[in-house]
Structure 1
Amino acid sequence: MQIQDLPYPDPGVPDARSGPRFLWWLGRNQLGGQLKALAWGLLHFMSVSGMPFCVGLAVQAVVDRSGVRLALTGGLLVLCGAGIALGDTMLHRTAVTNWITAAARVQQLLARRTAQLGSALTRRVAAGEVVAVSTGDVEKIGWFVEAASRFSAAALTVVAVCVGLVLYQPALGVIVAVGVPVLALAVLPLLPRATRRADTQREKAGRATELASDTVAGLRVLRGIGGEELFLERYRRASQEVRTAAVRSARMWSLISAIQVLLPGLLMIAVVWRGVQLAQEGRIAVGELVTVYSAVMLLTYPLRHFEEIAMAYSFSRPSARRAARVLALQRATEPTGSHEAGVPEGDLYDPRTGLLAPAGRLTAVVCGDPDAAGVLAERLGGHPAERAETDVSVLLGGVPLDRLPLDSARTAVLVQDKDPVLLSGTLRELLDVPASGTVGAREALAAAQCGDVLDALVQGSPGAADPMEARITERGRSLSGGQRQRLALARSLITDPQVLVLDEPTSAVDSHTEARIAEGIRKLRAGRTTVVFTSSPLLLDHADPVVLVHEGVVAAVGLHRDLLRSEPRYRAVVTRETDAEAAAPNDVLVELEELDELDELDELEGIEESA
């Protein structure tokens, strides 16, 4: 896999049982790239390690006054230099490719899991943790995958050099062969503590990221209640905890680095001291002493990769664990269902609550608890927050939604929650969503009463004569809550799903606009199933059936005005009346009679005008 071939056609099914298993799975899936990096790494490190032997041969050739051997040694030096340059270039290229492709694979896996989980993701994992996994953690994981091949090449090179020195000059080679493993293993007792400190740093950084994300998301509310400074102080404390943890972790890694410098220096002193003794005794030549000394000095280069792989694993292990935790999350219903026929048509029915939304009609649902309304809306879309083994799925045309493939279920039922998100970009890009093609952008915008929103977007985007090319800032922060709500409604209307579920779609607009939106939804969605969760009389008056859900079950079904007369619980939710007012509902009945008279007058006026 090359960078230009990204994204992967299929990133695969990860082993998310633990962080180390996930790292091992990533390495196995990039075996080709790892082998390439290993080959180029061996060429580079072996060429570097060959330099001391060439230098030793050259020194000995000068001592022996042999021009032929000096010329041959010069040729070997040229070959080693070429191997170093070529190997280093290609190793860097291949290693970076491994890093980027591994990170891209993890990001694709996270994106796929996020799409499968939908709104259930943020109920199981904090939004800040998802951000941390998809940004910083992905880089740490890619770093370990990239460093593994270079470490393997360095380890093989160290073994080859030690064996070569033992064969070349046994008296000094044995010292090197014994000392180098000690150098490589000397830091092992410190790694568990360094790993724990790195884990602590990552956990504190993750909590700080979560706190920052949540604070930014609720900044307007915090400013409204005067809680901005309180949360800012919390973030300051969390940031200081991250700084303290980072300093403690850096101290341990600096100690490991110091040991990696100190011990090779001691080994070189021992080799030189012993080599000088052997040279004085005439047991080794000067060129051999120079070769062994140079080899030990250059061994510090591949040995540095032992420290790097330890750091990479220590930092990537908690990152891999967090990524595996997200990837291990499962949807309450299976991503691939067993129903192979097309998307069924018919009524939408929830066996748990008894809610029935007739096909092709506008059904309004009234819940006294707004949170319960949101949970029920997500359940109707096939995204229950939690599901018991004995629970029955929502039925569409008699077919359980969990038996439909995920794509088919989402094509059939679309849920717009009460806090929809607008992504940055142009209005055309915002409305460029999968759709049936039946409803155009202008029709949807008109039904959602977005005329003033288009004017505001044009004014906020100088040079954009066409409203469709006007820019929308991140999450639509430059727009009011009502404007964002109407744009989101227009986006949902464009998709034209078989079943559209709207949770409080007009809670942030004024009553006049709300009345026009109610009429627009009814006309545009004629013949399609629409479920609206609301307590607004203006929307309820346009619904065919109105369903009252009380304490998790359907308590009453009827028309809005009939329920106002006959159902006190419905009247209490819709009119927000007190207990005293509920005991004397005459005023409400009088208002209803007056509304009926007004409707009759409107009808008479319409007849007269047509005559």
Structure 2
Amino acid sequence: MRSLPQPPGTPDHRSPDRFLFWLARRSWPSLAWAGLVNGGYWTCVILVSAALGAAVDAGFTDGDTSTLTRWFGVLAALALTAAALVVLGHRANCFNWYTSAYRTVQVVTERSVRLGPTLTRRLPSGEVVAVGTDDINRVGDLYESSSSLPGSVISIAVISTLMLASHVTLGLVVLVSVPLMLVGMVPLLRVFSRLQEHHRDRQAELTTRSTDLVAGLRVLRGVGGERTVGERYTAESQRVRAAGVRVGWADAALQSVRELLPGLLLVGIVWYGARLALSEEISVGQLVAFYGYTGGLATAVRGLMRAASAYVSARVAASRVVRVLRLAHDHPDPEFPAAEPAGPCDLHDPASGVTITAQRTTGVVCPDPTDATAVAERLGRYRDSTAPTTGTDPGLTDPESHTALANGTAPGDNPHSEGSTDLGANTNLGNSTGPEGTTLPESCSGPGGNVSPESSTGLDGHTGSGNGTGPGGSRERENDSDADAVLVERATNRAVRLRDLPRDRVRERILVATNSAHLFSGRLRDELSPDSGLSDDGLARAVRAANADDIVRQSPAGFDAVLTERGREYSGGQQQRLRLARALALDPEILVLVEPASAVDAHSEAAIAEALPVERAGRTTALVTTSPLLLDRTDHVQFVERGRVVAQGTHRELLAAVPGYAETVLRTVTTGGNR
């Protein structure tokens, strides 16, 4: 019994044909074995016809009973051998289907995980779904039927040899007619390929429409747009059906040709053989053998035609697979990675002026949710300074950051020393000094450029010494690379841009957890600790910190309870607490939590606010939130307006001194400083 899945290897994605050839090379021993078995089976079938013809001549023409008995023994042996080869051939064909289809699944899944949100930004969701459902079946079908190719070639060679030995004319007819029949199929195969590709495109578009429809069903009901969208879906569905019907007609034509041409050859050879038998140029036994040869020849030709049809379908599917494999990540790894800074490190975002201080809990408050998304994306390198800005949240749904955290491996160093710097009302992120006295060098050289110091901002909301400061504190930069987030090594003040580090290392050290993170189906234990590295005590501690212990208790199975996809059996608040517990259980060096308690009740929010600083004591944590309960437990808060830090200090200091902050956090309108 072979162990599956096998290591997939590195796919050749230069073209669909090269990808299919790569799959064949990876599975050549099993493909060769299947072809050999299939060829052996058809050789036995053909030899049965030869033995039957010899038995007819021996028993009925010559009247030799002993010879007839021997030929019956040969027939029995050939039949038993063919029966055994059927079992072996079926097993080999199934193995070839599984290895090719699931190797395709492996490489596509691996590439999809590596691409993260890049995949759904570059390809429609329906295209991705179709690759994982329909296309792998097409690829598998090709290699399942591939054994018919060598089997058919062997059959045709054996039949031609036997016919040439018996009658030269019949042998030449076979040698000439088979290539002509295959060439006659080429125009139909081209039409079939074109129609199937068109149908595949329409099918992917319809799948995209259906996924969007399901995702936005509540919104559609709210605005009364169900009928309009339903009519559009119906129209697109009819176009897909019409395209499928055209593919069906082409496939039916191919099947008709597969039956017609070999059938005509069979009729012609039997008719000509009967005339030869009547003129006594061949014996009755030879006529019987020729009839059997022709039947086997017709089956062999059909096998070649089926293999050609399977290749056309697989090539269309492989073109979609290659399209996924060719995609480049929006945030590629650097060609020459920088030396990784040793922890503890501050995390600094020059574009906004936000600094997440090492070993402390920092709050980031943004009145505009778009600013909160942009800051969190840059802090986790889900958005580079040169990346196009959109109004969506493309980066924070990356499965790399929310679940696996680089295949579930725990981050590197997680210092637990308590920070003790006092944050006063006048703490600045200014010229060369960051929060809590962290010094940012005037020109911190990274491999890809320099990190410029940010402007000073105090509690009055006015910027200090920022050159070229425009409205709202934003400013134009001569070099976009200066806006990339950096890790600042506290021991040496060395700053390294995140884009100059390998992406895997960034994902291991910095975890950005949002409410769009996916909850996967499976055991709760595996969801909270993907690498199974945490004991039950560790899981319980993370669950308590997220105030999710009641969720675990509600099932008798505890941590072995099975979640459905996306955790649909739980409410929105329960799902949010499970996401928070998973993020805490992963215990990254730097944790960026985006509104971790926005969907829970006031009691749970208060419990989370109390437990979170204790759980993350001595580690670097950022809370991008407007929750006053959470902010009151932070060591330092930075207030971001129009994309820039305009004030910072403790939560209570900002409440008293910055009206805009109070309005944002308390959801009230201030007048003359009174709430």
Instruction: Normalising by structure 1, report the TM-score.
Output: 0.85
Aligned residue number for residue 519 of structure 1:
610
Q: Aligned Cα RMSD in Å?
A: 2.9
Q: 2:565 matched to 1:485?
A: no
Aligned residue number for residue 313 of structure 1:
311
Deviation of 1:590 after TM superposition, in Å, equals 3.1
Q: 2:521 matched to 1:424?
A: yes
Contact 1:116 1:335 in 2 (8 A): no
In structure 2, do the counterparts of structure 1 residues 343 and 256 end up closer, same or farther at CA, with 3 Å as the change threshold?
farther
Deviation of 1:564 after TM superposition, in Å, equals 4.6
Task: Report the residue type matching 1:52 in the other structure.
Answer: S
Q: 2:542 matched to 1:444?
A: yes
Whole-Å Cα distance in 2 between the matches of residues 572 and 315 of structure 1?
61
Deviation of 1:569 after TM superposition, in Å, equals 5.6
Whole-Å Cα distance in 2 between the matches of residues 506 and 153 of structure 1?
64
Contact 1:434 1:495 in 2 (8 A): no
Aligned residue number for residue 632 of structure 2:
541
Q: How do 1:316-335 residues align onto structure 2 when only pairs under 5 Å count?
A: 316-331=314-329, 332-334=331-333
Out of 16-25 and 496-505, give the one that drifted further.
Answer: 16-25
Deviation of 1:260 after TM superposition, in Å, equals 1.6
Q: How do 1:342-361 residues align onto structure 2 when only pairs under 5 Å count?
A: 344-361=343-360
Deviation of 1:30 after TM superposition, in Å, equals 0.8
Deviation of 1:287 after TM superposition, in Å, equals 2.2
Of 19, 24, 28, the match for 1:27: 24
User: Could you report, residue by residue, the CA deviation over 1:493-528 in whole angstroms, capped at 9, with x for unpaired residues?
Assistant: 111111111122122123443233222212211111
Aligned residue number for residue 49 of structure 1:
46
Aligned with 1:440: secondary structure?
Answer: helix
In structure 2, do the counterparts of structure 1 residues 408 and 434 end up closer, same or farther at CA, with 3 Å as the change threshold?
farther
Deviation of 1:444 after TM superposition, in Å, equals 2.2
Whole-Å Cα distance in 1 between the matches of residues 341 and 168 of structure 2?
77
Q: How do 1:591-610 residues align onto structure 2 when only pairs under 5 Å count?
A: 591=675
Aligned residues, how many? 574
Aligned residue number for residue 598 of structure 1:
none
Aligned residue number for residue 259 of structure 1:
257
Task: Report the residue type matching 2:346 in the other structure.
Answer: D
Task: Report the residue type matching 1:365 in the other structure.
Answer: V
Of 95, 103, 117, the match for 1:105: 103
Deviation of 1:142 after TM superposition, in Å, equals 1.4
Aligned residue number for residue 151 of structure 1:
149
In structure 2, do the counterparts of structure 1 residues 34 and 376 end up closer, same or farther at CA, with 3 Å as the change threshold?
farther
Percent sequence identity is 38
Task: Report the residue type matching 1:442 in the other structure.
Answer: A
Aligned with 2:57: secondary structure?
Answer: helix
Contact 2:543 2:581 in 1 (8 A): yes
Contact 1:347 1:359 in 2 (8 A): yes
Of 645, 648, 668, the match for 1:557: 648
Aligned with 1:317: secondary structure?
Answer: helix
Aligned residue number for residue 601 of structure 1:
none
Whole-Å Cα distance in 1 between the matches of residues 281 and 166 of structure 2?
13
In structure 2, do the counterparts of structure 1 residues 336 and 226 end up closer, same or farther at CA, with 3 Å as the change threshold?
farther
Out of 361-370 and 40-49, give the one that drifted further.
Answer: 361-370
Deviation of 1:252 after TM superposition, in Å, equals 1.1
Deviation of 1:150 after TM superposition, in Å, equals 2.5
Whole-Å Cα distance in 1 between the matches of residues 626 and 193 of structure 2?
54
Aligned with 1:421: secondary structure?
Answer: coil
In structure 2, do the counterparts of structure 1 residues 66 and 237 end up closer, same or farther at CA, with 3 Å as the change threshold?
same
Contact 2:155 2:296 in 1 (8 A): no
In structure 2, do the counterparts of structure 1 residues 436 and 352 end up closer, same or farther at CA, with 3 Å as the change threshold?
farther
Whole-Å Cα distance in 2 between the matches of residues 113 and 449 of structure 1?
35
Aligned residue number for residue 605 of structure 1:
none
Out of 162-171 and 333-342, give the one that drifted further.
Answer: 333-342
In structure 2, do the counterparts of structure 1 residues 550 and 155 end up closer, same or farther at CA, with 3 Å as the change threshold?
farther
Whole-Å Cα distance in 2 between the matches of residues 435 and 93 of structure 1?
36
Contact 1:42 1:153 in 2 (8 A): yes
In structure 2, do the counterparts of structure 1 residues 435 and 281 end up closer, same or farther at CA, with 3 Å as the change threshold?
closer
In structure 2, do the counterparts of structure 1 residues 59 and 303 end up closer, same or farther at CA, with 3 Å as the change threshold?
same
Aligned with 2:569: secondary structure?
Answer: coil
Whole-Å Cα distance in 2 between the matches of residues 15 and 282 of structure 1?
59
Aligned with 1:530: secondary structure?
Answer: strand
Of 7, 13, 16, the match for 1:16: 13
Aligned residue number for residue 433 of structure 1:
530
Aligned with 2:126: secondary structure?
Answer: helix
In structure 2, do the counterparts of structure 1 residues 221 and 288 end up closer, same or farther at CA, with 3 Å as the change threshold?
same
Deviation of 1:484 after TM superposition, in Å, equals 1.0
Contact 2:193 2:316 in 1 (8 A): no
Task: Report the residue type matching 2:515 in the other structure.
Answer: K
User: Could you report, residue by residue, the CA deviation over 1:361-410 in whole angstroms, capped at 9, with x for unpaired residues?
Assistant: 11222334424433442332233378569747543334444555555433
Contact 1:382 1:401 in 2 (8 A): yes
User: Could you report, residue by residue, the CA deviation over 1:346-370 in whole angstroms, capped at 9, with x for unpaired residues?
Assistant: 1112344443211011122233442
Deviation of 1:477 after TM superposition, in Å, equals 1.8
Gaps of 5+ in 1: 459-463, 592-611
Task: Report the residue type matching 2:167 in the other structure.
Answer: Q
In structure 2, do the counterparts of structure 1 residues 41 and 343 end up closer, same or farther at CA, with 3 Å as the change threshold?
farther
Aligned residue number for residue 607 of structure 1:
none
Contact 1:416 1:503 in 2 (8 A): yes
Of 151, 172, 175, the match for 1:174: 172
Aligned residue number for residue 588 of structure 2:
497
Whole-Å Cα distance in 2 between the matches of residues 364 and 475 of structure 1?
28
User: Could you report, residue by residue, the CA deviation over 1:160-187 in whole angstroms, capped at 9, with x for unpaired residues?
Assistant: 3224322331122222222222222221
In structure 2, do the counterparts of structure 1 residues 89 and 387 end up closer, same or farther at CA, with 3 Å as the change threshold?
farther
Q: How do 1:151-300 residues align onto structure 2 when only pairs under 5 Å count?
A: 151-300=149-298
Whole-Å Cα distance in 2 between the matches of residues 343 and 327 of structure 1?
34
Gaps of 5+ in 2: 388-447, 449-479, 490-494
Whole-Å Cα distance in 2 between the matches of residues 334 and 68 of structure 1?
79
In structure 2, do the counterparts of structure 1 residues 71 and 437 end up closer, same or farther at CA, with 3 Å as the change threshold?
closer
